[in-house]
Amino acid sequence: MKKVFIKSGKTDALKRFHPWIFSGALSKEDPGITDGELVEVCAANGDFLAFGHYQDGSIKIRVLSFEPLTGDYGGFWLQRLQDAFQLRQTLGFGLDAATNAYRLVHAEGDQLPGLIIDIYDRTAVVQCHSIGMHRDLPWIREALLQVPGLTLEAIYDKSRETLPAGFAETVENRYIWQSSQGTSAIRENGHTFVVDWEKGQKTGFFLDQRDNRQLLARYAPGKTVLNAFSYSGGFSVYALAAGAQQVHSVDVSKQAIELTEQNVALLKDTDPGRHQAFAQDVFAFLKQSEPVYDIMVVDPPAFAKNLKKRHNAVQGYKRLNAAALEKIKPGGLLFTFSCSQVIDRQLFQDTLVAAALEAGRPVRILHQLNQGADHPVNIFHPEGAYLKGLVLYVG
């Protein structure tokens, strides 16, 4: 492994096990290191500190381990993936027939920065966010196939959308082991959803909302529900199955609305008249829609992908939530979310304060919500807690 050296005085974050090394912290590098290469990170005096993937840019090293590599790299990968699978088994995944879709690897949360692996029944969908992870795909594939207890029929690499521009153009999404028809009917808490990892958004399904959908089911019986930003209808299906009186799903993407309708149609014994889907912009829908709802779910895409966009994003969340609050019946509930990593929980809550003031509604917080436990947060990398949600009681 080639080496990079940390400036003396810049080792604090590393000593706290933060897995990112910024370019400004490096004093020198061995010549000829290429993007995605595995490098050893050393203190100014040459002591080993970590090893990780090198990539030119603001985050220059993504740390894979703070221990030296002993044995071969294949062994490292098998250990990491085995650890990840063991945690999911502890959480009940892989054993529970009611749920057969879960996140197996959540990047920094599994000490593998830049790597996401979602399991949809017997297909693993791999999404690399760094060049190093993409270069390591052969290792990842071999290790996935060796994890005891993990039974796979196909592995699909879907990294073209998430790799840095420039490199992304050189890769295609493709099966890296066997192949499948591209969709699967998965189960989540006993509900069936068709997941299309080839054509769908992200890896195909928003697994991170599983527990929050279950919470909605608790409140939905007999209620009118708006599921805004529905994607494939996760919240809609849970609400309908729980006996909601009426559910409206809204998403700007026609394809998402088709997926929603397809998933609602899989519900047994459900009167189709209870659900209506609208391929429309949520802001426009809220402006013109007549009805007021007992419960509203508002789960937009990340409004801010980086710090520069944070201010505009806050304004966006405020406007959206103020508009939503105006359409909720007195005594109703708002399930509201932000999946922007740069908007922390406190800022999100402050934004809801501003929205409540603007809408002139008294609001109480009932629940504080997170991503599911199969999306663990590395305690040394709090940025990993990206999904924030609040359930608000609107008086």
Q: Residue 278 interacts with ligand SAH (CB under 6 A)?
A: no
User: How far apart are the C-alpha atoms of 168 and 171, rounded to whole Å?
Assistant: 6
Judged by CB, which is closer to ligand SAH: 89, or 276? 276
Tokens of 344: 């922390």
**What residue spans of 231-309 are helical by DSSP H?**
234-241, 254-265, 282-288
Judged by CB, which is closer to ligand SAH: 35, or 121? 121
Stretch touching ligand SAH by CB under 6 A, among 173-181, 237-245, 252-260, 370-378: 252-260
Find the binder of ligand SAH among 204, 234, 372, 389 (CB under 6 A): 234
Collapsing DSSP to helix, strand or coil, 357 comes out as helix
Tokens of 15: 């000593």
Q: Residue 282 interacts with ligand SAH (CB under 6 A)?
A: yes
Residues forming the active site: 339
Judged by CB, which is closer to ligand SAH: 191, or 361? 191
Interacting residues of 271 by C-beta distance below 8 A, sequence separation 6+: none
Interacting residues of 162 by C-beta distance below 8 A, sequence separation 6+: 116, 127, 128, 129, 168
User: How far apart are the C-alpha atoms of 232 and 234, rounded to whole Å?
Assistant: 6
Find the binder of ligand SAH among 111, 130, 232, 371 (CB under 6 A): 232
Find the binder of ligand SAH among 20, 231, 293, 335 (CB under 6 A): 231
Q: How far is the CB of 212 from ligand SAH (least distance, A)?
A: 8
Q: Residue 11 interacts with ligand SAH (CB under 6 A)?
A: no
Q: How far is the CB of 219 from ligand SAH (least distance, A)?
A: 16
User: How far apart are the C-alpha atoms of 42 and 213, rounded to whole Å?
Assistant: 46
Collapsing DSSP to helix, strand or coil, 333 comes out as strand
Q: Residue 304 interacts with ligand SAH (CB under 6 A)?
A: no
**For ligand SAH, how many residues bind (rule: CB under 6 A)?**
20
| CA end-to-end distance (rounded Å), the chain | 61
Q: How far is the CB of 168 from ligand SAH (least distance, A)?
A: 20
Find the binder of ligand SAH among 74, 138, 291, 301 (CB under 6 A): 301
HEC readout, 97-118? CCCCEEEEEEHHHHCCCCEEEE
Find the binder of ligand SAH among 235, 335, 348, 386 (CB under 6 A): 235
Q: Residue 356 interacts with ligand SAH (CB under 6 A)?
A: no
Judged by CB, which is closer to ligand SAH: 86, or 253? 253
Q: Residue 299 interacts with ligand SAH (CB under 6 A)?
A: yes
Stretch touching ligand SAH by CB under 6 A, among 74-82, 131-139, 150-158, 226-234: 226-234
Residue numbers 192-211 binding ligand SAH by CB under 6 A = 201, 206, 209
Judged by CB, which is closer to ligand SAH: 323, or 363? 323
Q: Residue 5 interacts with ligand SAH (CB under 6 A)?
A: no
Task: Name the residue with tokens 């000829």.
Answer: 32
Q: How far is the CB of 142 from ligand SAH (least distance, A)?
A: 32
Q: Give the number of other CB atoms < 10 A from CB of residue 222.
A: 11
110 within 8 A of 83, measured Cβ to Cβ = yes
Interacting residues of 201 by C-beta distance below 8 A, sequence separation 6+: 231, 253, 256
Interacting residues of 334 by C-beta distance below 8 A, sequence separation 6+: 295, 296, 298, 321, 324, 325, 328, 363, 390, 391, 392, 394
Binding site for ligand SAH (CB under 6 A): 201, 206, 209, 229-232, 234-235, 250-253, 256, 281-283, 299-301
